[in-house]
């Protein structure tokens, strides 16, 4: 088991040096000569020198003209070959890209070089069954069901035009709106519906529209927040001319059997209530399970102390950055405005924790013989195809090219390992 040192607070911590290795490697001169001949022969086929037919340029001339390229070809062939051969002989699993230095490459001599690299850490598993985690089965009250049904009513409410009167909070104003200053090109919209006092309505609109009646017009300024979702308006003050066209109110459907039938394959309101109850219960069970698994993983990480290769951490940070960039682009925001080095630094501790958790779960899966089956991977491929409305064969082909099938198998294996640990955990009363 790797040794550990104490930090200033007296805690035991694993040392990164435990996973760094340095090897001095020598390649026999005969191997170097053969590799050099192969590099020269390859060059003879590619280069065209005046006075020589293709492939007939003398080796001595090529050595003189293309010494650097020959050296590069020989090193590219022999360094990884002998490095990984030596690592395999010593039972080392190289992580990341090795640093190669002190290269000695001279005609007639053995090739010598020094390689420094990180290796996969050794993990000595502690007792991972019976870990105590807070968990209790969630419950659903009649009030919870009533609240969800009310939400469904609101979602299916219709906007109904009422008799002309002054706008009050809760009304939906139908507006003709145009910008007269502050933004270019100008904003013009003939039928904009705006909720007076709504969460998504800027306060300036509510304040200036309250009390206006259909047919009335007003000009006013609106200051947009710096982080407003539409970049061309963020931080700007825009002057609008607005005319009220109509006043509308939300009309909620009655909560009865007809409402239940309109929602789906329900015979009556009671059937809908039971379906809603089951839906809420499943949501809460999934969330309670997710929180319990998070705590279980935290406990596993606390129990196992070992150094984490920087290469793994950097890869994790790169993945997080890529996901964040995609999220920003999907919202129409510019990823270039983010300091990504600062972003990675702020998430490094979490990345180390996530990498540790992944390595521990893999080790447990190996010991318990937990793997993803072909059927499980295929079901996930079919689910993705349904979600994307694409042929299964096309989705499978794309995933194969992108290494997606391996990632799917890894994700399934991880979840099965978490399921195993949860089933064998000791559940204590939840918070």
405-415 pLDDT tens trace: 999 999 999 99
290-306 pLDDT tens trace: 999 999 999 999 999 99
**269 close to 259: Cβ distance less than 8 angstroms:** yes
172-201 pLDDT tens trace: 999 999 999 999 899 999 999 999 999 999
Residue with tokens 């609240």: 147
Structural domain ending residue among the three candidates 92, 119, 146: 119
Is 10 within the bounds of a domain? no
Q: Are residues 149 and 267 in the same domain?
A: yes
303-334 pLDDT tens trace: 999 999 999 999 999 999 999 998 888 887 78
pLDDT reported for residue 348: 93
pLDDT reported for residue 8: 37
**255 close to 248: Cβ distance less than 8 angstroms:** no
Q: Are residues 337 and 262 in the same domain?
A: no
Is 420 within the bounds of a domain? yes
Q: Measured between alpha carbons, how far apart are the two ends of the chain, in Å?
A: 36
Q: Are residues 103 and 207 in the same domain?
A: no
Share of the chain above pLDDT 90, in %: 74
Q: What six digits make up the tokens of 192?
A: 């904009």
Mean pLDDT of the chain, nearest integer: 90
**59 close to 67: Cβ distance less than 8 angstroms:** no
Going through 203-343 in order, the beta strands assigned E by DSSP cover 217-223, 237-251
Q: Are residues 322 and 245 in the same domain?
A: no
What is the CATH classification number for the domain harbouring 70? 3.30.70.1050
pLDDT (average), residues 117-132: 92
As a whole number of angstroms, the distance between CA 163 and CA 237 comes to: 33
pLDDT (average), residues 271-296: 95
Q: Are residues 413 and 316 in the same domain?
A: yes
More confident residue, 147 or 60: 147
Q: Are residues 162 and 145 in the same domain?
A: no
Is 359 within the bounds of a domain? yes
Non-local (6+) Cβ contacts of 116 within 8 A are 20, 21, 22, 98, 99, 101
Is 423 within the bounds of a domain? yes
Residue with tokens 């650097």: 68
As a whole number of angstroms, the distance between CA 96 and CA 69 comes to: 25
Orientation angle between helical segments 67-89 and 29-46, nearest 10 degrees: 140
Is 8 within the bounds of a domain? no
Structural domain ending residue among the three candidates 119, 138, 168: 119
Q: Are residues 352 and 310 in the same domain?
A: yes
pLDDT (average), residues 64-69: 84
Q: Which of 160, 423, 135 is nearest to 291 (CA)?
A: 135
pLDDT reported for residue 50: 67
**CA pseudo-torsion sign 426, 427, 428, 430:** positive
77-110 pLDDT tens trace: 999 999 999 999 998 999 989 999 999 998 889 9
As a whole number of angstroms, the distance between CA 158 and CA 181 comes to: 34
Structural domain boundaries enclosing 192: 158-251
Q: Model pTM?
A: 0.71
Q: Are residues 311 and 421 in the same domain?
A: yes
pLDDT reported for residue 100: 94
Is 5 within the bounds of a domain? no
Q: Are residues 135 and 268 in the same domain?
A: yes
Number of domains in the chain: 4
Q: Are residues 54 and 65 in the same domain?
A: yes
pLDDT reported for residue 230: 85
* Out of 42-51, 185-194, 272-281, least confident range: 42-51
What is the CATH classification number for the domain harbouring 311? 1.10.3120.10
Going through 205-236 in order, the beta strands assigned E by DSSP cover 217-223
Q: Are residues 143 and 276 in the same domain?
A: yes
What is the CATH classification number for the domain harbouring 212? 3.10.50.40
Is 113 within the bounds of a domain? yes
pLDDT reported for residue 430: 61
Is 232 within the bounds of a domain? yes
Q: Are residues 277 and 322 in the same domain?
A: no
DSSP labels for 1-65? ---EEE-TTS-EEE-GGGGEEEEEEEE-HHHHHHHHHHHHHHHHHH---TTS-TT-S-HHHHHHH
């Amino acid at each position: 088991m790797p040794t550990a040192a104490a930090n200033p607070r007296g805690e035991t911590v694993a040392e990164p040096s435990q996973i760094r290795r340095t090897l001095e490697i020598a390649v026999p001169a005969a191997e170097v000569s053969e590799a050099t001949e192969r590099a020269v022969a390859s060059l003879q086929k590619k280069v065209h020198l005046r006075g020589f037919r293709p492939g007939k340029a003398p080796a001595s001339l090529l050595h003189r003209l293309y010494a650097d390229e020959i050296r590069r070809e020989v090193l590219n062939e022999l360094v990884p070959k002998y490095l990984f051969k030596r690592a395999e002989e010593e039972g080392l699993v190289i992580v990341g890209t090795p640093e190669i230095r002190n290269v000695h490459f001279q005609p007639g001599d053995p090739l010598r070089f020094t390689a420094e690299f990180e290796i996969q850490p050794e993990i000595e598993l502690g007792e991972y069954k019976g870990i105590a985690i807070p968990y209790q089965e969630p419950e659903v009250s009649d009030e919870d069901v009533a609240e969800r049904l009310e939400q469904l009513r609101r979602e299916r409410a219709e906007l109904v035009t009422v008799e002309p009167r002054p706008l009050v909070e809760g009304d939906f104003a139908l507006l003709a709106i145009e910008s007269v200053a502050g933004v270019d090109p100008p904003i013009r919209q003939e039928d904009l519906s705006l909720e007076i006092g709504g969460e998504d309505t800027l306060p300036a609109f509510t304040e200036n529209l309250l009390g206006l009646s259909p047919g009335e017009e007003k000009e006013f300024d609106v200051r947009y927040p710096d982080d407003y979702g539409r970049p061309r308006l963020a931080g700007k003050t825009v002057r609008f001319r607005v005319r009220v066209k109509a006043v509308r109110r939300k009309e909620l459907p009655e909560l009865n059997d007809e409402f239940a039938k309109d929602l789906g394959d329900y015979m009556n309101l009671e059937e809908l209530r039971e379906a809603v109850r089951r839906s809420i219960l499943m949501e809460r069970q999934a969330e309670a399970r997710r929180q319990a698994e998070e705590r279980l993983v935290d406990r596993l990480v606390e129990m196992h102390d070992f150094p984490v290769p920087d290469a793994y951490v950097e890869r994790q940070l790169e993945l997080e950055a890529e996901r964040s960039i995609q999220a920003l682009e999907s919202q129409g925001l510019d990823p270039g405005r983010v300091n990504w080095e600062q972003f990675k630094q702020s998430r490094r501790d979490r990345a180390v924790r996530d990498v540790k958790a992944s390595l521990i779960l893999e080790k447990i899966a190996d010991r318990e013989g937990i793997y993803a089956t072909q059927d499980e991977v295929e079901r996930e491929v079919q689910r993705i195809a349904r979600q994307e409305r694409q042929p299964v064969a096309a989705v499978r082909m794309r995933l194969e090219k992108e290494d997606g099938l391996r990632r799917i198998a890894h994700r399934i294996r991880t979840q099965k390992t978490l399921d195993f640990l949860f089933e064998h955990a000791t559940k204590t009363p939840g918070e």
